[in-house]
A and B are shown apart, each in its own frame.
Chain A
Amino acid sequence: MAGKKKLVLDPSWCKGCGICVAFCPKQALELAEEKVRLKPDGQCVLCGQCELRCPDYAIWLEDLEE
């Protein structure tokens, strides 16, 4: 079994293309001043769609430290 994951964002690598925002199945993401962020009430389900399509590797899932 894969361990628990967490969502990680690096706005300094984000170019504000909006791809992750548009295709997040939970509409959990938004852009603020052309940088990605999790909405204050965003319900991320750790599906990994954003990581799969971010052209700039600015958003990804990481294993939670045990």
Chain B
Amino acid sequence: MPSDLIHKFMRIDHLPHIWCAGCGNGIIMRDVAVALQELIDDPDCRVSREKTVIVSGIGCSSRAAGYMDFNSIHTTHGRAIAFATGIKFARPDLEVIVLTGDGDCSAIGGNHLIHAARRNIGLTVIAFNNDIYGMTGGQYSPTTPTGDVATTAPYGNIDRPFDIAQLAAGAGASFTARGSAYHARETIELIKQGILHRGFSLVDVYSACPTYYGRKNHKGGAVEMLTWQRDNMVPASRYYAMSEEKRRDKILVGILTHNDFPEYTQQYAQLLERAREGK
């Protein structure tokens, strides 16, 4: 019998999950469950279990939608945000949460990501970003750092990587943030804020794929990869207390952008109202 949290919010007959030992996905999936539990348990908060939908695409990370005991839909590769857009458009009263991978949301699904961000539709996208296509055996993804090896880049990747949070911010997302598997407590807070935010929210969470990324790139197993996150990623409270020079080679764990742009389904409802009134 696992903890109350897991018992309550996961389909425990499907656990232990199929992810490899030390895969960051298990940590991030728990972060999502804790964030939802804390919001659902807060009587002043609008979030309820009945009105929450979890949407995923295809990938190791996207299996999370199958493990989480919510209204959930496991869709096709790259199209999670497209399905989520349809759900939110039909039922703006639902909290629609997308669990996706770096490949799912920034390679095949990159177009859906930027346009959902541009429209500022009220989805919460949690990217489980492991810098690789885990499920299919370690091909490089749009976030694989330059120079790293992958099965499709055996001599080193010559591409420059995307920063998914900055990509979404540049496309117009009104809430963007970055978390990590190591920084679980901070990431839970960021996910909560992302869900509460009314417009498009994206939380780019650095995961860890020891099997196809860490070990192949001499970055070690799970412990070494999380140690790297601890030493190179800095929570906002400490980050902004550092000198600019010290910040330069550190990665912020925290909010990148937070704006109050109009939300798409609300804009649409207003448009319908105007059209009905013949204005």
Set B1, B15, B223: member contacting A17, Cβ < 8 A: B223
A23–B2 Cα gap in the complex (Å)?
21
Q: Could you tell me which residues of chain B, from 1 to 48, have a CB within 8 Å of some CB in chain A?
A: 1-6, 10, 15-17, 19-27, 30
0/1 per residue, B147-191, Cβ < 8 Å to A? 000000000000000000000000000000000011011000000
Query: Does A56 contact B17, Cβ atoms closer than 8 Å?
Result: yes
Q: Is residue A26 within 8 Å, beta carbon to beta carbon, of the partner chain?
A: no
**B210 to chain A: which residues have CB within 8 Å?**
17
Which residue of A has the minimal Cβ distance to B2? A57
Query: Does B6 contact A57, Cβ atoms closer than 8 Å?
Result: yes
A54–B21 Cα gap in the complex (Å)?
10
Query: Does B2 contact A19, Cβ atoms closer than 8 Å?
Result: no
Query: Does B222 contact A19, Cβ atoms closer than 8 Å?
Result: yes
Shortest B273–chain A CB gap in Å is: 46
Q: Is residue B227 within 8 Å, beta carbon to beta carbon, of the partner chain?
A: yes
Known contacts A53-B181, A53-B182, A57-B3; 11 further A-B pairs (Cβ under 8 A)? A8-B3, A15-B16, A15-B20, A15-B21, A17-B222, A19-B223, A22-B227, A53-B27, A55-B25, A56-B16, A56-B17
Shortest A14–chain B CB gap in Å is: 9
A43–B1 Cα gap in the complex (Å)?
24
Q: Could you tell me which residues of chain A, from 34 to 66, have a CB within 8 Å of some CB in chain B?
A: 51-58, 60-62
Query: Does B221 contact A17, Cβ atoms closer than 8 Å?
Result: yes
Query: Does A23 contact B21, Cβ atoms closer than 8 Å?
Result: no
Query: Does A55 contact B223, Cβ atoms closer than 8 Å?
Result: no
Query: Does A18 contact B222, Cβ atoms closer than 8 Å?
Result: yes
A61–B15 Cα gap in the complex (Å)?
19
Query: Does B2 contact A13, Cβ atoms closer than 8 Å?
Result: yes
**A23-B226, A53-B27, A53-B181 known; A18-B22 Cβ under 8 A:** yes
Shortest A16–chain B CB gap in Å is: 6
**B223 to chain A: which residues have CB within 8 Å?**
17-19, 22
Which residue of B has the minimal Cβ distance to A23? B226
**B26 to chain A: which residues have CB within 8 Å?**
54-57
**B15 to chain A: which residues have CB within 8 Å?**
13, 57
**A17-B222, A19-B226, A56-B17 known; A62-B27 Cβ under 8 A:** no
